[in-house]
């Protein structure tokens, strides 16, 4: 057999020989690269999209700056529509670009690294080093940020989960342009409450001097609570649109530990809303994580490999509280923190005490006032003979604004006012019946199915 022709010691000798040849070749290549670089008069700087797994805001600014550069000469253009603008904006889509600054030429190129993330490479002559490093880069980033602010493009950031539990990959921010039509005007809720929230938000955004004067970090916490479909997410979008803030949608279950949480939070920019949805589910992590850990352990044979210490840790309530009012909140300004929950009673009081969450906002079932706003949004309707029936049904029935909206939506692309209102009435009657039956069942359960017998009092 082959084994006989290649005894073990020969196999080892051959592999050692191959290994040393490869090492020598790579050694040679390394030094030849250094040799060429030594004589090359060009220097380059790279700007990665993610640095230490944090989103690099300079990268986004560079992208904006380069995107708007000399589109008249570019061969490949990208057309985008910026929020609130009627026309299209043309951006260059070339991978390489030559730019000039104070009479000096520089070259930009976009590359993709081994992990698939993009990075910009800036190349320039070493004689331009001082100008480029001291003022050109700053100029590009500032210009990019100015253009971003002018275009009022908001971003929706989400932290991607580590791809595999137990892997060393960590959570980082990714973004898409945020465009959501929601605004306070179309938000269906009690008008007085709405005004109160609106005033609070505006006062916060104009409060720079005030927060400085009282010596507090310029941040505000809102707790939105209420049943599903009552508009919690819609309100967050309306807040972002009102203040022109970006949203950071923080998925706590995708974060391994407190230090990762801290890194992600310190990487958020100012003028932003940090959202943790369904906080009651997110913070109850131990169950889910234990399950993941045991799954991982089962996959590993003989239990030889033990989980690394870093994989065992997870975000704790105290880690989150530490961020909210500890040192991390002071490292960034003009931030709003929003928690949402369907179950206020499940939350740890420490998490929501006043001062941490400055305003508790209840989003409740649809009232007649809220319905009128939805009727205006969906049907352009101020009043209708069927409104009085709907009003009395809404008083007796718990229905989420999302369900009301569903009934008022265009059918077959046509607005059918009577049809929609009748559909809503039907849905309300059905819900009312179900809720009545539910109430009877609940009462039975509460009183142990016993009916009241007045004779028992006598005997
Ligand atoms: N108060 C409201 N005003 C206007 N539209 C609403 C309101 N509540 C719900 N809607 C409509 O219902 C849809 C779902 O609502 P939304 O996602 O905001 O509810 P939610 O309270 O965040 O629900 P969940 O707790 O399930 O996340 C929205 O897209 C919106 O069209």
Q: What percent of the chain clears pLDDT 70, i.e. is strictly above it?
A: 70
Question: What tens digit of pLDDT does each residue of 163-174 get?
Answer: 544 455 566 788
C-alpha to C-alpha distances, 130 to 37, 46, 364, nearest whole angstrom: 19, 16, 60
Task: Give the burial string for 170-203 (b: 16+ CB within 10 Å, else e).
Answer: bbbbeeeebebebebeebbbeeeebeebbeebee
Q: How many other CB atoms are there within 10 angstroms of residue 90's CB atom?
A: 15
Place of tokens 């929230």: 197
Which of helix, strand or coil describes residue 90? strand
Two structure tokens written together for 252: 């706590």
User: Distance from CA of residue 161 to its chain's centroid?
Assistant: 12
pLDDT-based confidence at 75, cuts 50/70/90?
low
**Atom 10 of ligand 1 has which residue's CA nearest to it?**
402
What pLDDT was estimated at residue 329? Answer: 60
Whole-number pLDDT of residue 48: 85
Q: How far is CA 12 from the centre of its chain?
A: 53
DSSP letter (8 states) at residue 254: G
Q: Which residues is 362 bridged to in the sheet?
A: 225
Residue closest by Cα to atom 16 of ligand 1: 231
Q: Binning pLDDT at 50, 70 and 90, where does residue 293 land?
A: very low
Q: How many residues does the chain have?
A: 459
Cα 192 from Cα 189, distance rounded (Å): 9
Q: Which value, to the nearest 10 degrees, does the dihedral of the CA atoms of residues 364, 399, 277, 311 take?
A: 130
The β-bridge partners of 42 are: 125
- 366 CA distance to ligand 1 centroid (A)? 11
Percent of all residues in the chain with a pLDDT value above 90, rounded to a whole number: 32
Answer whether 406's CB lies under 8 Å from 420's CB.
no
Residue 380 DSSP label: -
Q: Is 128's C-beta closer than 6 angstroms to any atom of ligand 1?
A: no
pLDDT at position 312 over 80: no
Nearest-angstrom CA–CA distance, 426 and 431: 9
Pocket lining: 338 vs ligand 1, CB cutoff 6 Å: no
Cβ–ligand 1 distance for 233 under 6 Å, the answer yes
The structural domains of the chain, with segments of one domain joined by +, span: 38-151, 154-301+309-362, 368-446
Measured in angstroms, how far is the CA atom of residue 380 from the centroid of ligand 1?
Answer: 19
This model's pTM is above 0.90: no
Q: In angstroms, what is the span from residue 451 Cα to ligand 1's centroid?
A: 41
Dihedral, CA of residue 159, residue 164, residue 165 and residue 166, to nearest 10: -120
Ligand 1 pocket member 329 (CB < 6 A): no
For residue 3, report the distance from its CA to the centre of ligand 1, in Å.
70
Q: For residue 298, report the distance from its CA to the centre of ligand 1, in Å.
A: 41
405 lines ligand 1 (CB under 6 A): yes
Tell me which residue has its CA closest to atom 8 in ligand 1. Answer: 231
Task: Answer yes or no: are the C-beta atoms of 369 and 190 closer than 8 Å.
Answer: yes
Residue 236 Cβ inside 6 Å of ligand 1? The answer reads no
Confidence of residue 89 (pLDDT cuts 50, 70, 90): low
Confidence band for 83, pLDDT divided at 50, 70 and 90: low
- Rounded CA separation 323/356 (Å): 10
User: Is 402 close to ligand 1, i.e. is its CB under 6 Å away?
Assistant: yes
Average pLDDT over residues 138-162: 81
Tokens of 42: 């060009």
CB of 281 within 6 A of ligand 1: the answer is: no
Pocket test for ligand 1, best of 233, 343, 346, 363 (most atoms within 8 A of CB): 233
Tell whether ligand 1 has an atom less than 6 A from the beta carbon of residue 219.
no
Q: Is the beta carbon of 144 within 6 A of some atom in ligand 1?
A: no
Q: Is 234 in the pocket of ligand 1 (CB under 6 A)?
A: yes
Our answer on whether the CB atom of 404 is closer than 6 Å to any ligand 1 atom is no
- The pLDDT of residue 457: 43
Q: Whose CA is nearest to atom 11 of ligand 1?
A: 402
Res. 38: pLDDT tops 90: no
CA distance 356 to 347: 13
Instruction: Say if ligand 1 is within 6 A of residue 333 CB.
Output: no
CA distance 227 to 435: 15
Nearest to 63 by CA among 15, 120, 146: 120
**Whether the Cβ atoms of residue 246 and residue 310 lie closer than 8 Å to each other:** no
Specify whether the CB–CB gap between 65 and 92 falls below 8 A: no
Ligand 1 atom having least distance to the Cα of 187: 3
Say how far apart CA 111 and CA 79 lie, in whole Å: 22
**Partners of 125 in beta bridges:** 42
Radius of gyration of the chain (CA): 30
Query: How far is the centre of ligand 1, averaged over its atoms, from the C-alpha of 199 (Å)?
Result: 22
Question: Quick one: 283 exposed, middle or buried, by C-beta within 10 A (0-12, 13-18, 19+)?
Answer: buried
Write down the H helix ranges in 112-161: 129-131, 137-151
Q: Which helix (H) or strand (E) holds 224?
A: strand 219-225
Q: Is the pLDDT of residue 356 over 50?
A: yes
The answer to whether the CB of 342 is under 6 A from ligand 1 is: yes
In this model, does residue 117 exceed pLDDT 80? no
User: Quick one: 154-301+309-362 is in which CATH superfamily?
Assistant: P-loop containing nucleotide triphosphate hydrolases (3.40.50.300)
Q: Is residue 451 predicted with pLDDT exceeding 80?
A: no
Q: Which residue lies with its CA nearest to atom 24 of ligand 1?
A: 228
CA–centroid distance, 148 to ligand 1, in Å, is: 29
Mutating to test ligand 1, I would choose from 343, 361, 401 the residue with most ligand atoms within 8 A of its C-beta, which is 401
């Amino acid at each position: 057999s082959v084994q006989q022709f290649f005894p073990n010691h020969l196999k080892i000798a051959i592999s050692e020989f191959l290994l040393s040849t490869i090492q020598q070749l790579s050694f040679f290549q390394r030094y030849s690269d250094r040799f060429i670089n030594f004589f090359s008069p060009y220097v380059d700087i790279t700007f990665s999209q993610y640095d230490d797994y944090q989103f690099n805001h300079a990268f986004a600014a560079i992208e904006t700056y380069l995107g708007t550069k000399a589109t008249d000469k570019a061969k490949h253009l990208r057309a985008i529509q910026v929020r609130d603008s009627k026309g299209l904006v043309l951006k260059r889509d070339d991978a390489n670009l030559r730019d000039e600054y104070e009479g000096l030429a520089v070259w930009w190129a976009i590359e993709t690294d081994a992990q698939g993330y993009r990075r910009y490479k800036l190349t320039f002559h070493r004689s331009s080093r001082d100008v480029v490093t001291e003022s050109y880069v700053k100029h590009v980033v500032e210009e990019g940020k100015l253009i971003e602010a002018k275009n009022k493009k908001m971003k929706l950031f989400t932290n991607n989960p580590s791809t595999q539990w137990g892997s060393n990959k960590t959570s980082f921010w990714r973004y898409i342009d945020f465009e959501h039509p929601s605004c306070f005007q179309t938000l269906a809720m009690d008008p007085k409450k709405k005004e109160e929230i609106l005033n609070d938000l505006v006062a916060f955004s104009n409060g720079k001097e005030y927060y400085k004067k009282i010596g507090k970090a310029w941040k505000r916490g809102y707790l939105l609570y209420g049943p599903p479909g009552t508009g919690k997410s819609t309100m967050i979008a309306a807040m972002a649109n009102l203040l022109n803030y970006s949203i950071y949608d923080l998925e706590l279950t995708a974060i391994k530990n407190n230090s990762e949480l801290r890194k992600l939070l310190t990487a958020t920019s100012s003028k932003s809303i940090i959202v943790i949805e369904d906080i009651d589910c997110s913070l109850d992590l131990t169950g889910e994580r234990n399950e993941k850990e045991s799954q991982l352990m089962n996959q590993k044979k003989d239990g030889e490999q033990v989980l690394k210490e870093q994989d065992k840790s997870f975000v704790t309530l105290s880690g989150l509280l530490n961020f909210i009012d500890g040192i991390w909140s002071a490292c960034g300004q003009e931030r709003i923190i929003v928690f949402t929950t369907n179950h206020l009673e499940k939350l740890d009081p420490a998490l929501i005490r006043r001062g941490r969450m400055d305003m508790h906002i209840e989003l409740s079932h649809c009232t007649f006032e809220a319905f009128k706003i939805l009727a205006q949004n969906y049907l352009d309707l101020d009043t209708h003979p069927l409104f009085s029936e709907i009003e009395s049904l809404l008083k007796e029935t718990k229905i989420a604004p999302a369900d009301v909206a569903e009934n008022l939506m265009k059918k077959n692309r046509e607005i059918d006012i009577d049809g929609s209102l009748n559909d809503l009435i039907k849905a309300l009657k059905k819900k009312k019946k179900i809720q009545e039956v539910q109430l009877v069942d609940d009462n039975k359960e509460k009183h142990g199915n016993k009916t009241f017998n007045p004779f028992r009092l006598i005997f």
